Structure 1
Amino acid sequence: MSAAKPSTATHKSLRPRKSPWLKRAAIAVVVLAAAGIGWHYYSKRNAEEAAGAYRTAKVERGDIRVAISATGALSAISTVDVGSQISGQVTEVLADFNDRVTKGQVIARIDPSTYEAQIAQGTAQVNNARASLATAQATLHNAELDFQRKSELAKNQLVARSDADLARAARDQARAQLAGAQAQINQQIASTQTSRLNLQRTVIRAPVDGVVLTRTVEPGQTVAASLQSPVLFQIAEDLSKMEIVLAIDEADIGQVKPGQSVNFSVDSFPDRKFRGAVQQVRLSATNTSNVITYPVVVSVDNADGVLLPGMTANAEIEVSHRDNVLRVGNAALRYKPSDDDAAAVGAPGGGGAARGGLGNDLPAVADKLKLDASQRALFDAALEQMKQRMASRTAAPASTAGGPAGGGPPTIIMGGGRGPGGGGGGNNRSGNRAGGAVSGAARQRMQERFKQQFGAFRATLNDDQRKLWDNEIAALVSARRAPLYKLVKGEPQAVVVRVGVSDGSWTEVSGNVKEGDDIIVGSGRGAK
């Protein structure tokens, strides 16, 4: 028994003992892991709460169609008013509403008896004048013979010279009477011819091929053409081609050009869309209660004949159509941060960002030019210098970096024209005109700076490349710009973008945004 005890003690002494510092390290790891998990959930909850403080919308790609709405009345391209050149009682009406008539077809008659009597009277007067002419001819013949006889006798001094002079005067008088008789005949013939023309005018004929739109005369009615020609019929020459005359507001007329597509509807066919094209923009302005409008003529194909003259057309002139562009809802462009959020948001980027990211747009312009290696090297060098110069200005006060002093939201810079929110209206001016406009002098200064910065590069371009470069730079400098507020990791971030066309709901944007970005459209909790 005594020998077994020592062996037990020896066995216990050989067991490894656990070090206290391992326990403390394990505890520390567990605590740090728990703290990390807690911080993760805490940060995530704060980010979700921050994101939930804003309502956002996605930047997406889509089509934007800008149209001007107006109303007008359908009418035939050529409408002829058929009247009467003479007065008299209508005896026959041979055409009715909607009748198709051909050129020269008799459509009405006026009582011809008055003009027939005038012709008979004129014929009698012509015959009387011819009898007078015969008398004058006989008188002249006798006077000629008398003058010849007395002239011979006067030469032989058998009669006095005065007798010969009297014979000469009688001859001349007979000649004048003959000429008067001839003139009287011509006068009576002309008068009779007028009566004959009036007799022909008692028959009213269609001047063109077409359809009778209106008839304002009945058999037995008396027409009086003493002051002006009364309109008896109205004939539309061709109803397979029609037109609409739209009254376009002066604010929109600059966007309307011949050839633009026009969609319209009529009340008779509310579910059907018709198409036309702008044919003419007339210069004759109309002032109605100090509202200036211009007539725009739209040509319409009416081959099936369903459109009728006088129908009211609700038309939309498509002035712009942009396919597959980046666009945002107009609510995003109207959003402004509150006073508390403005200091946190700050100015939109400063430097190049405050100008809508011109430095980011220039490479796309260069790609259009198809530069060679040397031209590309000069362009890259000039672009890098511009970026360095713009970066050096990022420390400037907010008032010079594109935003107001104190870090408030920047003023929206627009290059003129309608701001987002408008553009899709009709003859009203409901479009929101955002911000101020870049003056012409400011645009010119910016263009001059571009010429200086990229002068060496521009000198290497050929004529076509130089023309394209100048046009693209002018478009970039004069483009309208506005601030947007992106939501990045739960925090608002201000950026300035170039603003394109707007249809009243969506606006084209380009610059420091991409498809799928969350753009703030309002404050407060709400669904995205």
Structure 2
Amino acid sequence: MQTTVSPKQENKQPKSFWTKPWFVVVLLVVLLGGGFIAFRVLASMNQSPTSLNDKTQLVESKSLDIKIKASGSVVPIETVNLSPKQAGKLVELLVEQGARVNQGQVIARMDNANLIPQLYQAQASAAASEANLAKLRNGNRPEDIAAAQARVESARGRVESARSRLALTNMKTSRFRGLQTEGAISSDRFDEVLTDDRSAQADLLTAQANLAEATRLLEETRNGSRVEDIAQAEAQLAQAIAGIRVIEVQIEDTIIRAPFAGIITQKYANAGAFVTPTTTASATNSSTSTSIVAIANGLEIIAKVPEVDISQIKIGQEVEIIADAFPSEVFKGKVRLIAPEAIIEQNVTSFQVRVTLETGKDKLQSGMNTDLRFIGQRINSALVVPTVAIVTQEGQTGLLIADEKGKSKFQPVTIGTTVDNQTQILSGAKVGDRVFVKLPETKTTP
């Protein structure tokens, strides 16, 4: 018998849970949540060691070369601004900027037209002094003696003539005195006779003096020149020669020469300019408006080393040099000089240290900025960690050290020297400790 199911009976059958939307949504949430948790657990198990290695590094024992850092600049070993000793007109300039010159090479010439006539005059004066000295040294010729003798005889004749005249005037004076007493002549006439007598006496005295002088000169002519006269003539000649030398030096000073071999770094004047001497002829920066040119020789580094590091700098110490213009190259040098006196700039005390270049002379140029690393003593078996691993907690310096579970623990340490990106650990850590170089995600254990 066939059973017929009515529509009313079909509606009374139980419905499945799969047909309910809310049940499907809940089931999907449960399944997805469980899968995500399982994935996180597996990922944590697989990536935990790798993640720890990325964030940590081991404490190592290695040799550490101490390096003292400082800044510096490239400067010439020798530099000088050339200027004339006396103000004047520059008539000739023989070099250009960048030219290489040798020691003693003529660089420029100043006007010396006013000195040439002075030189000729001094030379003529010296020639006259030399001739006079030769005459005194050679003595008098027979002709000179004969001339002196003739002058004596002439003087003697004038004396005799003066005596004869005086005798006549004496007799006339005596005779006219009697006539004047008798009143035969006037007083004026007697005064004329008396004046004539006195004139004759004066002429006799003059003639006698001339005779004495002529006689003395005759004796000197016969005996030759005196030692005093020769000495005086020698002094006059020496003075004349010195005058020549003074003018020659002045002329030589108008020729500007290179004091040493080097390069013309600056040119300050051209031919025709009026140039004056300068008191700053030698300067570090080689710049002055009164100079003709600036010349420099060689290159070295002047570094400014902080006061706290100067005790570690020694003469001959090796230096690594990095110029801003060549950041990828390391040049070599050695300490040549340590300044005995500190300089203070903006309340910072430092010492100038001069470094001789061993490499890079063909690349570095004056004025370039450089960073220097002075190579100090080597520390053997030093415990080192990356500098970024050093942290501070509650005022203490230390390291974040990973324990067996990978959690970080703060460990106070004593640090030493820092070289490049590594820092020496004096106490508080040991070789093999794993220190965090990146901040850990887990909470740090104190």
TM-score w.r.t. structure 1 length? 0.49
2:304, 2:350 within 8 Å by CA — same for their partners in 1?
yes
Match of 1:257 in 2: 314
* Alignment deviations for residues 442-464 of structure 1 (CA, whole Å, 9 cap, x no partner): xxxxxxxxxxxxxxxxxxxxxxx
Structure of greater relative contact order (alpha carbons < 8 Å, 6+ residues apart): 2
| Displacement of 1:301 | 3.1
**2:293 pairs with 1:233:** yes
Q: Is the deviation greater in 275-284 or in 318-327? A: 318-327
Please give the secondary structure, in 2, of the residue aligned with 1:219.
coil
**2:257 pairs with 1:205:** yes
Give, as a single letter, the amino acid of the residue that structure 2 aligns with 1:112: N
Match of 2:342 in 1: 285
Distance 1:208 1:321, change over 3 A: same
Give, as a single letter, the amino acid of the residue that structure 1 aligns with 2:363: V
Give, as a single letter, the amino acid of the residue that structure 2 aligns with 1:215: K
Match of 2:105 in 1: 105
2:81, 2:293 within 8 Å by CA — same for their partners in 1?
yes
1: distance between equivalents of 2:427 and 2:331? 38
Distance 1:187 1:497, change over 3 A: same
1:106, 1:206 within 8 Å by CA — same for their partners in 2?
yes
| Displacement of 1:75 | 1.7
Unaligned runs of 5+ in 2: 1-43, 45-50, 153-211, 282-289
1:335, 1:522 within 8 Å by CA — same for their partners in 2?
no
2: distance between equivalents of 1:192 and 1:186? 10
Please give the secondary structure, in 1, of the residue aligned with 2:292.
strand
Distance 1:507 1:178, change over 3 A: closer
**2:387 pairs with 1:501:** no
2:59, 2:434 within 8 Å by CA — same for their partners in 1?
no
2: distance between equivalents of 1:102 and 1:324? 53
2:83, 2:275 within 8 Å by CA — same for their partners in 1?
no
Distance 1:127 1:326, change over 3 A: closer
1: distance between equivalents of 2:400 and 2:275? 76
Give, as a single letter, the amino acid of the residue that structure 2 aligns with 1:188: A
Distance 1:243 1:113, change over 3 A: same
Unaligned runs of 5+ in 1: 1-44, 46-51, 150-162, 338-410, 413-433, 435-482
Please give the secondary structure, in 2, of the residue aligned with 1:237.
strand
| Displacement of 1:323 | 7.3
Give, as a single letter, the amino acid of the residue that structure 1 aligns with 2:294: Q
| Displacement of 1:227 | 7.3
| Displacement of 1:246 | 0.9
**2:268 pairs with 1:216:** yes
Identity of aligned residues (%): 24
| Displacement of 1:324 | 7.1
Match of 1:88 in 2: 88
Please give the secondary structure, in 1, of the residue aligned with 2:125.
helix
2:386, 2:421 within 8 Å by CA — same for their partners in 1?
yes
Please give the secondary structure, in 2, of the residue aligned with 1:196.
helix
Distance 1:225 1:175, change over 3 A: farther
| Displacement of 1:270 | 3.5
| Displacement of 1:190 | 0.9
Distance 1:318 1:526, change over 3 A: farther
| Displacement of 1:70 | 2.7
2: distance between equivalents of 1:179 and 1:292? 65
1:335, 1:520 within 8 Å by CA — same for their partners in 2?
no
TM-score w.r.t. structure 2 length? 0.56
| Displacement of 1:497 | 5.7
TM alignment of 1:166-181, pairs within 5 A: 167=216, 176-181=228-233
Please give the secondary structure, in 2, of the residue aligned with 1:113.
coil
Distance 1:79 1:262, change over 3 A: same
2: distance between equivalents of 1:317 and 1:228? 33
1: distance between equivalents of 2:439 and 2:258? 71
Match of 2:356 among 299, 315, 325: 299
1:70, 1:315 within 8 Å by CA — same for their partners in 2?
yes
2: distance between equivalents of 1:278 and 1:70? 13
| Displacement of 1:313 | 1.8
| Displacement of 1:294 | 0.4
1:87, 1:226 within 8 Å by CA — same for their partners in 2?
no
Match of 1:319 among 376, 395, 403: 376
Give, as a single letter, the amino acid of the residue that structure 2 aligns with 1:200: E
Match of 2:242 in 1: 190
Please give the secondary structure, in 2, of the residue aligned with 1:251.
helix
2: distance between equivalents of 1:323 and 1:237? 41
Please give the secondary structure, in 2, of the residue aligned with 1:182.
helix
* Alignment deviations for residues 248-305 of structure 1 (CA, whole Å, 9 cap, x no partner): 1112212223333333333333443333232222212112243211001111135662
TM alignment of 1:52-131, pairs within 5 A: 57-61=56-60, 66-130=66-130
Q: What is the number of residues matched between the two proteins? A: 313
2: distance between equivalents of 1:284 and 1:207? 28
Instruction: Please provide the CA RMSD for this pair.
Output: 4.5
1: distance between equivalents of 2:324 and 2:403? 50
Match of 1:269 in 2: 326
| Displacement of 1:173 | 10
| Displacement of 1:498 | 5.8
Give, as a single letter, the amino acid of the residue that structure 2 aligns with 1:126: A
Please give the secondary structure, in 2, of the residue aligned with 1:186.
helix
Match of 2:385 in 1: 328
Q: Is the deviation greater in 101-110 or in 221-230? A: 221-230
Give, as a single letter, the amino acid of the residue that structure 1 aligns with 2:384: R
| Displacement of 1:504 | 7.1
Match of 1:393 in 2: none
Distance 1:174 1:224, change over 3 A: farther
Please give the secondary structure, in 1, of the residue aligned with 2:89.
strand
| Displacement of 1:321 | 5.5
1: distance between equivalents of 2:442 and 2:272? 78
1:139, 1:174 within 8 Å by CA — same for their partners in 2?
no
1: distance between equivalents of 2:427 and 2:323? 42
| Displacement of 1:116 | 1.4
1:136, 1:177 within 8 Å by CA — same for their partners in 2?
yes
Match of 2:157 in 1: none
2: distance between equivalents of 1:125 and 1:314? 65
Distance 1:506 1:210, change over 3 A: closer
Distance 1:64 1:258, change over 3 A: same
* Alignment deviations for residues 101-142 of structure 1 (CA, whole Å, 9 cap, x no partner): 223322212223222111111022223434655787779997
Distance 1:486 1:304, change over 3 A: closer
1: distance between equivalents of 2:104 and 2:339? 34
Please give the secondary structure, in 2, of the residue aligned with 1:274.
strand
Distance 1:507 1:228, change over 3 A: closer
